[in-house]
Amino acid sequence: MKQYRKKPPRFTQDAAYYFLTFCTFKRKPLLHLSGIPEFLITELYFYESKIKRFLAYTIMPDHIHLLVEVDNATDLSIFLRDFKKFTSREIKTRLRSSGSPDPQPTRIQNEPLTSTNDVSPIHTNNAALAPIHAALVSGYYGSFDFSEPVWQPGTMDHCIRMNWTNLDYRNHLSYLFYNSMKHLNIPPKNFPYHNFSTFVQEGIFDDDYCSFDEQTFPASSTYEI
């Protein structure tokens, strides 16, 4: 077996599906400030033109998971570069115009949407979420440092191994939608910042997916983000 001094070469493949993960700088919970998740979703679909197809997404307070299809693996770098560059600039602009508020959870379940130009915090009425969000923002001091980037450098990517079982694809798709339960204890059907409902309509997931014990999902324990 060939020995690598540092780490094995990165595996890429054209005409493939990729699971992508990227985080905010220092894992700051910026992405659930009000108006920002909706803005990010709009931009994800706008930049879909850089790749073949945009399949699934979930936006957590400090990271994003995506499942995409590409014709050329090199398209991923272009897509991520352009998306991060524009959204970073726009998020900073919104934070400046709002006075850089303390990050708090935005709309959860049936709370009304606000203007996409508004990044003031919205407090959820769901008391069960309060300690979770308090933990997320405990290391954040209420003022964004504009000398720092919005996004952590780099992106974790995984080329989906497709075979007759499609197990790798199904595991990653399941984990993507499991994130709201894992990090925020919100069942996917009640979480507003992913496209879970599309897969329910297509019959791929049941509407009550993740609405019970986490131990039911052993494959999800593979991932840390």
- Range 16-222 has CATH code 3.40.50.980: no
Q: Are 31 and 55 in contact (CB under 8 A)?
A: no
Region of residue 15 (left: phi > 0; alpha: psi -120 to 50; beta: else): left
* Long-range contacts formed by 123-126: CB under 8 A, 24+ apart: none
Q: Which residue has the higher pLDDT, 5 or 136?
A: 5
pLDDT digits (tens, 9 = 90+) for 130-169: 555 555 544 443 567 889 999 999 999 999 998 888 899 9
Instruction: For 45-54, give one letter per residue: b (16+ CB within 10 A) or e.
Output: eebeebbbeb
Q: How many CB atoms lie within 10 A of CB 113?
A: 14
